[in-house]
């Protein structure tokens, strides 16, 4: 059966609205991929076409492969607290932390290297299967050479590109083979089945992205997703406080901080959106009054209360990060379906 070269779905000519439709089987790309690549048409993108169970079955078809596990850099800060690694515990893993270009300017390469080295060290102590790791992004010119050298060092020929949806798996393979062969898009759920590509003496396998139930993206429609997605270098928004304050990221996130003495809070979110601050005692009124006006909103928001001694980094997957410094109580109001991750890393 012929499959789409962009997303892996079997091609068919009978159902115009169905996945894999092509007017004739001479075509290499399904209509969905064609429209997505040429017109940015996201109508047929959904995150729920492929289940994690199905993806696990794909992985199991390659028992001797090297698994290149690609992680979005913002997810990487909470990698130790994440259960993603459980799925790869019995596999040889080459870890790629991708999209480092979105990190703020003040996070030097050396600092980031140090932070991630520590995370990886702890992970390897627990799992022992990370053969190598690379930090990269789509602008990194040395990546291809470094990556192919690593494959040779690890004697890897069959290489499965795995990880969560939208981490940049298909983009990375396109970069390696220097062609726009695989379909990529800003929205998760682009790749639908495995796609095999022969390159030099390697066999690269692209796979659909694992759905993350703890990521806001899973619950935002495409319009809201576009407005909140971080794809450029983050310009952190910082605030100092000496009395209780509430901070709002529209209706997506609210952070109340009650400092013991002095504290500071920094938001790492999409630069186009500005954090609004009010006195803590006015926080509820502000939220009630403005909720209906917020283009960016979800409901319901659940509350996590944190007692912070010194500093803490809180990762809200798919939305960004919040760093709090200083002894305080913090109430994080975030999408009730999504877990928030408290990390001890110092950035």
Residues that bind Mg ion (CB under 5 A): 169-170, 190-191
Give min distance, CB of 80 to ligand GTP, in A. Answer: 22
Q: Does 8 bind ligand GTP (CB under 6 A)?
A: no
Give min distance, CB of 120 to ligand GTP, in A. Answer: 19
Pairing of strands 158-163, 202-206: parallel
Give min distance, CB of 96 to ligand GTP, in A. Answer: 10
Residue 52 has, within 13 A of its CA and on its CB side, a CA count of 11
Give min distance, CB of 50 to ligand GTP, in A. Answer: 9
Q: Is 121 exposed, middle or buried (0-12, 13-18, 19+ CB in 10 A)?
A: exposed
Do 13 and 205 touch, CB atoms closer than 8 A?
Answer: no
Selected from 188, 259, 318, 326, the binder of ligand GTP by CB under 6 A is 188
Q: Does 186 bind ligand GTP (CB under 6 A)?
A: yes
Q: Does 6 bind ligand GTP (CB under 6 A)?
A: no
Q: Does 169 bind ligand GTP (CB under 6 A)?
A: yes
Peptide bond connecting 300 to the previous residue in cis, omega within 30 degrees of 0? yes
- Going across the sheet that includes 195-199, the strands are 130-135, 92-98, 66-72, 158-163, 202-206, 195-199
What's the rounded Cα separation, in Å, for the pair 100 and 160?
A: 22
Q: Does 209 bind ligand GTP (CB under 6 A)?
A: yes
Residue with nearest beta carbon to ligand GTP: 209
- Give 3-state DSSP helix, strand, coil % of the chain, rounded to 5: 30, 30, 45
What's the rounded Cα separation, in Å, for the pair 263 and 123?
A: 31
Selected from 11, 22, 30, 102, the binder of ligand GTP by CB under 6 A is 102
Site for ligand GTP in 105-144 (CB under 6 A): 137-138
Q: Does 50 bind ligand GTP (CB under 6 A)?
A: no
Selected from 42, 166, 214, 215, the binder of ligand GTP by CB under 6 A is 166
List, as own/partner pairs, every contact residues 47-50 make where C-beta atoms lie below 8 angstroms and the sequence separation is at least 24, other chains included.
Answer: 47/165, 47/188, 47/189, 47/211, 47/217, 47/218, 48/189, 48/211, 49/19, 49/189, 49/192, 49/208, 50/189, 50/192, 50/193, 50/208, 50/209, 50/211
Selected from 167, 275, 343, 347, the binder of ligand GTP by CB under 6 A is 167
Q: Which two tokens stand for residue 115?
A: 């932070």
Taking the least distance from each CB to Mg ion, the nearer of 98 and 191 is: 191
Q: Does 55 bind ligand GTP (CB under 6 A)?
A: no
138 binds, among Mg ion, ligand GTP, none (CB under 5 to 8 A by kind): ligand GTP
Give min distance, CB of 187 to ligand GTP, in A. Answer: 7
Taking the least distance from each CB to ligand GTP, the nearer of 224 and 312 is: 224
Taking the least distance from each CB to ligand GTP, the nearer of 168 and 326 is: 168
Do 69 and 131 touch, CB atoms closer than 8 A?
Answer: no
Q: Does 96 bind ligand GTP (CB under 6 A)?
A: no
99 binds, among Mg ion, ligand GTP, none (CB under 5 to 8 A by kind): ligand GTP
User: What residues make contact with ligand GTP under the rule CB under 6 A?
Assistant: 98-99, 101-102, 137-138, 165-171, 184-186, 188-191, 208-209, 231
């Amino acid at each position: 059966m012929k499959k789409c070269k962009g997303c892996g779905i079997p091609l068919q000519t009978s159902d115009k609205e169905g996945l894999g439709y092509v007017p004739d089987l001479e075509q290499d790309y399904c209509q969905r991929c064609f429209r997505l690549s040429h017109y940015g048409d996201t109508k047929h993108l959904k995150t729920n076409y492929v289940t994690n169970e199905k993806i696990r079955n794909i992985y199991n078809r390659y028992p001797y492969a090297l698994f290149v596990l690609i992680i979005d850099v913002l997810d990487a800060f909470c990698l130790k607290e994440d259960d993603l690694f459980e799925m790869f515990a019995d596999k040889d893993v080459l870890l790629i932390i991708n999209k480092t270009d979105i990190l703020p300017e003040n996070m030097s390469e050396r600092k980031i290297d140090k932070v991630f080295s520590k995370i990886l060290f702890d992970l390897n102590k627990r799992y022992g299967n990370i053969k190598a790791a690379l930090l990269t992004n789509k602008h990194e010119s040395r990546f291809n050479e470094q990556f192919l050298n690593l494959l040779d060092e690890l004697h890897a020929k069959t290489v499965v590109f795995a990880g969560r949806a939208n981490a940049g798996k298909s983009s990375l393979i396109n970069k390696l083979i220097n062609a726009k062969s695989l379909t990529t898009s800003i929205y998760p759920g682009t790749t639908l089945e495995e796609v095999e590509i022969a390159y030099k003496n390697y066999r690269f396998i692209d796979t659909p992205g694992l759905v993350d139930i703890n990521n806001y993206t899973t619950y935002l429609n495409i319009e809201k997703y576009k407005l909140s997605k971080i794809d450029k270098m983050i310009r952190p928004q910082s605030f100092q406080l000496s009395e209780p304050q509430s901070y709002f990221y529209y209706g997506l996130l609210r952070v109340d901080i009650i400092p013991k003495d002095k504290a500071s809070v920094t938001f790492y979110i999409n630069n186009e959106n500005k954090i609004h601050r009010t006195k803590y005692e006015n926080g509820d009124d502000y939220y009630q009054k403005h909720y209906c006006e917020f283009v960016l909103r979800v409901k319901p928001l659940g509350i996590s209360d944190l007692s912070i001694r010194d500093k803490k980094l809180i990762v809200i997957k798919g939305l960004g990060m919040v760093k709090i410094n200083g002894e305080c109580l913090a109430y994080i109001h975030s999408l009730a379906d999504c877990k928030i991750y408290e990390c001890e890393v110092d950035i």
